[in-house]
Amino acid sequence: MKGMERKAVSDIIATLLLLGITVAGAVLVAAFFQGNSVFRPDATSPGTQTASIKIIGYDTRDGSDLSGIDFLDNFLDAPPFLCTITCNASPDDLPSAGGTEFVVLTVRNQGMSKVSLQSVEINNFDHSWSASTSGTLSALSYPAAGKFSIIPTSSTIQSPTNELLSNGEARLVIKLSGDMSQDIDVNQPIRTRIITNLLDPSADIITSGSVR
């Protein structure tokens, strides 16, 4: 009788294990066919998604009205160049007053969710987002050296947030840092990379002294 009892208990345990394996398999198969995030690396948590920020235009001229924005002027040097370390005595001043100069990148968020634009690398030097420039863009309100502000392409007002919605476009106004190792000569390649709250794309190369 004792042997029969043990055999009966073993049969029950085996049956329960088979049921558990069957249910688990059914759940995994259903998740696979329904596109569950277990099988979709692009649908994981925001911290592991790949950013879809693309540079679609830029203005790196040593001229005036960059990207068509009034008051956004670089000082026209002869020969032309974008001033960084040469202008580090008072880098936060306007270029006309001896401060560092501006670069404008036009970007688009091609992803399905909004992203936070945290910083922009220019020639491997980090320029962080300026939270104090929202509401306008003028000779009295612009990013400090080593920082950038965000202007939607449909506006001329600097954004109060560093978020860019899905399919959104914006212009990044970057005030070059005076701590960069050298000025940027015209026609010189500029290495750019946009840092977000997601996994960041590789660097893009643009050309100094041109507009696109």
Cα gap 52→109, rounded to integer Å = 6
- CA distances for 97 relative to 44, 73, 87, 154, 164, angstroms: 48, 11, 10, 29, 32
How many Å apart are CA 117 and CA 197, to the nearest integer?
7
Half-sphere exposure of 206 (CA within 13 A, CB side): 23
pTM of the model: 0.75
Q: Report the DSSP pairing between strands 115-122 and 163-164.
A: antiparallel
Give me the residue spans of the domains in the chain.
Answer: 2-39, 46-207
pLDDT in tens, the chain (212 residues): 544 454 555 667 667 667 767 767 666 655 554 544 333 333 444 444 556 899 999 999 999 999 988 889 999 988 899 999 999 999 999 999 999 999 999 999 998 899 999 999 999 999 999 988 877 766 678 899 999 999 998 888 889 999 999 999 999 999 999 999 999 999 999 999 999 998 767 789 999 999 99
